């Protein structure tokens, strides 16, 4: 069977795997984004936290968290999935947990970079207008930092699309199981088609995410700071 005939015959399965792959990445990066935003805002030196939290303490904690999350990103994916199986079982749980761990660093790094890029003079002006720390964060810092944060989310998503394939080793959702099945029976009937379909499926998922990020960027970035 040629590749196009295989895709036509297995379209419902391929489409279902594509949906699973898309949602697995979306859920994992979404959880990582929530964690990173909270951590980045709380630990950022912008007087949002209590005065008892000294600037060196917050800065040191922030850099320490970046160091830990960057180290987690270097852990081989096969090893991490294997370590998680005894703790959370197979399928969705280890897949989401591992991808969330891997996603935190690229998102957190951009949250910190985006918030740090806001000019102090702008914040002083906002403070002079009577804005409290929460209003300054919501009205000034986050909107100005948003393009950088969105870039971190995009990078995290693209990285996780590839790593999500490894979730197939623990019966995770997405194209991983299909790809590994094809590799395990390489040389058999339709094995190459199975591998190509899973590989190209990941590329299609990445293309869909690129469109989503373009639309989100156009709709959510303030007009005055669009590039």
Model pTM score: 0.86
**Rounded distance between C-alpha atoms, residue 216 and residue 213, angstroms:** 5
Residue 72, CA atoms < 13 Å, CB-side half-sphere: 18
pLDDT tens digits, one per residue of 95-122: 999 999 999 999 999 998 888 888 778 7
pLDDT of 227 strictly over 80 = no
Going along the chain from its start, the domains and CATH numbers come out as 3-222 (1.10.3720.10)
Comparing 58-62, 183-187, 188-192, 199-203, the range with the smallest average pLDDT is 58-62
**Model pLDDT, residue 136:** 81
Percent of the chain residues topping a pLDDT of 70: 90
**Model pLDDT, residue 143:** 86
Summarize the confidence of residues 149-162 as an average pLDDT: 94
pLDDT tens digits, one per residue of 12-43: 999 999 999 999 999 999 999 999 998 888 87
- Mean pLDDT estimate for the chain: 86
User: Torsion angle, CA of 129/132/137/140, rounded to 10 degrees?
Assistant: -10
């Amino acid at each position: 069977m040629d590749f196009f005939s295989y895709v036509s015959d297995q379209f419902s399965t391929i489409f279902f795997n594509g949906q699973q792959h898309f949602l697995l990445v979306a859920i994992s990066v979404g959880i990582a984004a929530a964690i990173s935003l909270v951590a980045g805002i709380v630990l950022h030196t912008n007087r949002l936290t209590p005065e008892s939290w000294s600037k060196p303490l917050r800065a040191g904690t922030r850099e320490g968290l970046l160091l830990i999350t960057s180290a987690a990103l270097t852990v081989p994916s096969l090893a991490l999935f294997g370590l998680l199986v005894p703790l959370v079982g197979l399928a969705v749980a280890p897949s989401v947990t591992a991808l969330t761990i891997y996603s935190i660093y690229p998102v957190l790094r951009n949250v910190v970079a985006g918030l740090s890029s806001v000019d102090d003079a702008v914040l002083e002006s906002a403070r002079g207008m009577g804005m409290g720390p929460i209003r300054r964060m919501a009205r000034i810092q986050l909107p100005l930092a948003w393009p950088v944060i969105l870039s971190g989310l995009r990078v995290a998503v693209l990285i996780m699309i590839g790593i999500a394939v490894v979730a197939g080793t623990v019966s995770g959702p997405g194209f991983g199981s299909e790809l590994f099945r094809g590799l395990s029976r390489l040389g058999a009937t339709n094995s190459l088609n199975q591998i190509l379909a899973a590989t190209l499926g990941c590329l299609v998922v990445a293309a869909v995410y690129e469109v989503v990020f373009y639309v989100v960027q156009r709709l959510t970035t303030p007009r005055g700071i669009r590039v």
